[in-house]
């Protein structure tokens, strides 16, 4: 388990029909919910073999240069050579919960990843069951394992995480720090949190205590339904935990329990969210949508006629507010599906239908920093045209664009994140190969209040909008 992550998970099965919440003096009582839910939560132990570092290598790495013991290790290797490390067993633990009466269990991928042996133990049964991995998905940190048993196991059912409201009571059950069947209660603190854990962040935030070892355990609502998968903690804070929403997890688990690899749709573009200046430059009424920074040649979007600079507003009629939402909507479809994209292009809405490929197919080119030359200054940037020499260094097919050689502090370019070494390819979707051409676009479109630059940075395209003084 990652040092800064403690994760929990959730599954389908038996629905507890009646609300389990009782109240005493206006506060909820969790006794019945804990008793029923706890029967389906399991303690997971793992064992895997790791290779120890050669000789004293693992100790040497902790000894600073100049320390007397550093010289000892160096002399030891000089006379005896580095000794091979011995394999050693590494133990791990986490949580999980039953989703089918015949032994399917959900947990986190990181709990069982690379394990040589996975065992499961129930609250009311001292017997250890050896489990096999049925399916796992690294990008959402979900996994399904299975045990063989003659028992009819109690299961937990998924609830509707979309229907949750901030402030609702929830209960987490798991095995933090090896303390099995630990119950903690709290509320939903926030929804739709993005914490940088992965490409599909959309977490529920809760103040129910979550700690290492809770990984794979359920977050229950007051009806005993799984509404979240506790998946991360904030190591610098108290009682701030994050859970994968059940509506997101349920779709992935449905594929994993069939032993299928999770396949996600992909259109072959790079994208970014819009800011207010970019929206102004494009003539959009508000900064919503996903801006296409580049389109891979021969990939699904290219074949469908989608262009660099298009803004995706909808997928199959569902609004797209930012780049994360576009990624999630496309990844929620399968390779081979057809998706209808509503785009903003040339100050009007158009529609393109794209046949999806499979996520993970694109390769980005590398870029080397440019060499400075003759310069002109525009919007706080020292610019020079790209010649053949610079084009070769940048990996460009031909000389094109303007290299940003220097940026004036507190200028529009500096404030909007333009960097030294960026190459400006377009301004307001028009090619610019000289400072004069850039100034011409700015003069022509000054009334818009912003100019949008297409920039190549380290082999990738992105858009940056700079505000213009309209006075």
Q: Domain with 159 in it: what CATH number?
A: 2.40.10.120
Q: What is the pLDDT of residues 59-101, one digit of tens each?
A: 455 445 555 454 555 555 554 455 555 677 888 889 999 999 9
- Confidence band for 328, pLDDT divided at 50, 70 and 90: confident
Specify whether 112 is located in the same domain as 231: yes
> Is 213 labeled as ligand-binding?
yes
Mean pLDDT over the full length of the chain = 81
CA atoms within 13 A on the CB side of 95: 37
3 state SS of 33 = helix
Task: Give domain status of residue 71, yes or no.
Answer: no
CA–CA distance, 167 with 190 (Å, rounded to integer)? 8
198/140 Cα distance (integer angstroms): 7
What is the distance between the alpha carbons of residues 422 and 432, in angstroms, rounded to a whole number?
14
Q: Is 74 a catalytic residue?
A: no
- Percent over 70 (pLDDT), the chain: 80
Q: How many residues does the chain have?
A: 471
Q: Is pLDDT of 454 > 90?
A: yes
Task: Choose, from 40, 45, 95, 110, the residue flagged as catalytic.
Answer: 110
Asked, for residue 363, whether it belongs to a domain, the answer is no
Same domain, 244 and 272: no
Report pLDDT for 74. 56
67 is in an annotated binding site: no
Task: Please state, in angstroms and rounded to a whole number, the distance separating the CA atoms of residues 400 and 398.
Answer: 6
**pLDDT at 35 (0 to 100):** 92
Q: Looking at the structure, do residues 98 and 194 belong to the same domain, yes or no?
A: yes
User: Is 141 designated active site?
Assistant: yes
The residue annotated as part of the active site, out of 40, 95, 161, 215, is 215
The percent of residues in the chain predicted with pLDDT above 90, rounded, is: 39
Neighbours of 419 (CB within 10 A): 13
Strand, coil or helix: what is 37? helix
201 is in an annotated binding site: no
Q: Which two tokens stand for residue 158?
A: 């998924």
434 is catalytic: no
CATH code, 425: 2.30.42.10
Q: Kindly report, residue by residue over 417-433, the tens digit of the pLDDT.
A: 898 888 999 999 888 98
Contact 292, 255 (CB under 8 A): no
Partner residues linked to 193 by β-bridges: 203
pLDDT band at 318 (very low <50, low <70, confident <90, very high): very high
Helix, strand, coil proportions of the chain in percent (round to 5)?
20, 35, 45
Q: 324 and 404: one domain?
A: no
Residue 443 is assigned to a ligand binding site: no
The catalytically annotated residue of 40, 45, 95, 141 is 141
Encode pLDDT of 368-399 as tens digits. Answer: 333 344 457 888 888 888 876 667 666 677 78
Residues 97 and 232 in one domain: yes
323 and 177 housed in the same domain = no
The CA distance from 265 to 333, in Å, is: 5
Residue with tokens 């706080």: 380
Alpha carbon distance 231, 243 (integer Å):
5
Look at 365 and 118; give whichever has higher pLDDT: 118
Mean pLDDT of 100-113: 92
Pairing of strands 41-51, 460-467: unpaired
How many structural domains is the chain composed of?
Answer: 3
Mean per-residue pLDDT for 237-245? 84
Please report whether residue 68 resides in a domain.
no
Question: Is 162 among the annotated ligand-binding positions?
Answer: no
Query: Residue 215 annotated as binding?
Result: yes
Of residues 375 and 361, more confidence is placed in: 375
pLDDT given for residue 84 in this prediction: 54
Domain boundary among 225, 256, 287: 256
Residue 332 sits in which domain range?
266-358
The verdict on 304 and 394 lying in the same domain is no
Q: Is residue 74 part of a domain?
A: no
Query: Is 214 annotated to bind ligand?
Result: yes
Mean pLDDT of 358-376: 45
Q: Which of 9-23, 200-214, 227-241, 381-395 has the lowest mean pLDDT?
A: 9-23
Are both 279 and 335 inside the same structural domain?
Answer: yes
Kindly state the tokens that stand for 261: 């690899």
Same domain, 324 and 208: no
Mean pLDDT in residue range 36-49: 92
170 and 199 in one domain? yes
Query: According to the annotation, is 234 in a ligand binding site?
Result: yes
Confidence of residue 356 (pLDDT cuts 50, 70, 90): very high
Q: Which of 82-96, 238-252, 332-346, 349-363 has the lowest mean pLDDT?
A: 82-96
pLDDT value for 99: 96
């Amino acid at each position: 388990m990652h040092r800064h992550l403690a994760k929990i998970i959730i599954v389908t099965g038996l629905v507890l029909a009646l609300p389990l919440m009782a109240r005493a003096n206006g506060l909820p009582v969790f006794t019945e919910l804990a008793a029923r839910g706890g029967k389906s939560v399991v303690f997971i132990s793992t064992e895997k073999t790791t290779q120890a570092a050669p000789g004293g290598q693992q100790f040497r790495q902790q000894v600073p240069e100049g320390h007397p013991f550093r010289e000892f290790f160096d002399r030891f290797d000089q006379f005896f050579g580095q000794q091979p490390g011995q394999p050693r067993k590494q133990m791990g633990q986490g949580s999980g919960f039953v989703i089918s009466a015949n032994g399917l269990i959900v947990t986190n991928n990181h709990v069982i990843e690379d394990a040589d042996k996975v065992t499961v133990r129930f609250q009311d049964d001292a017997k250890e069951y050896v489990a096999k991995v049925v399916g796992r998905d690294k990008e959402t940190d979900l996994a399904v394992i299975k045990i063989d048993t003659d028992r009819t196991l109690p299961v937990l059912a998924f609830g509707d995480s979309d229907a949750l409201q901030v402030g609702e009571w929830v209960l987490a059950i798991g095995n933090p720090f090896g303390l099995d069947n630990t119950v903690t209660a709290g509320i939903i603190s926030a929804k739709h949190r993005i914490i940088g854990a992965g490409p599909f962040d959309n977490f529920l935030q809760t103040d129910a205590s979550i700690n290492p070892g809770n990984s794979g355990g359920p977050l229950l609502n007051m009806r005993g339904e799984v509404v979240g998968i506790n998946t991360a903690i904030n190591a610098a804070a108290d009682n701030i935990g994050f859970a994968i929403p059940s509506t997101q997890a349920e779709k992935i688990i449905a594929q994993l329990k069939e032993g299928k690899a999770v396949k996600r749709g992909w259109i072959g573009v790079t994208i970014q969210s819009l800011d207010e200046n970019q929206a102004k430059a494009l003539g959009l009424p508000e900064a919503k949508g996903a801006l296409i920074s580049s389109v891979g040649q021969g990939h699904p979007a290219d074949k469908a006629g989608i262009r660099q600079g298009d803004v995706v507003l909808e997928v199959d009629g569902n609004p797209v507010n930012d780049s994360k939402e576009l990624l999630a909507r496309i990844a929620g479809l399968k390779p081979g599906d057809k998706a209808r994209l509503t785009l903003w292009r040339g100050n009007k809405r158009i529609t393109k239908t794209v046949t999806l490929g499979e996520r993970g197919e694109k390769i980005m080119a590398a870029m080397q920093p440019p060499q400075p030359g003759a310069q002109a200054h525009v919007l706080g940037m020292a610019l020079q045209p790209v010649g053949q020499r610079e084009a070769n260094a940048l990996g460009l097919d031909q000389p094109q664009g303007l290299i940003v050689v220097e940026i004036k502090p507190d200028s529009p370019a500096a404030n909007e994140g333009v960097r030294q070494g960026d190459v400006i390819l377009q301004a307001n979707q028009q090619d610019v190969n000289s400072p004069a051409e850039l100034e011409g676009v700015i003069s022509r479109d000054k009334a818009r209040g912003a100019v949008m630059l297409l920039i190549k940075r380290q082999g990738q395209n992105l858009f940056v909008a700079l505000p213009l003084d309209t006075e």
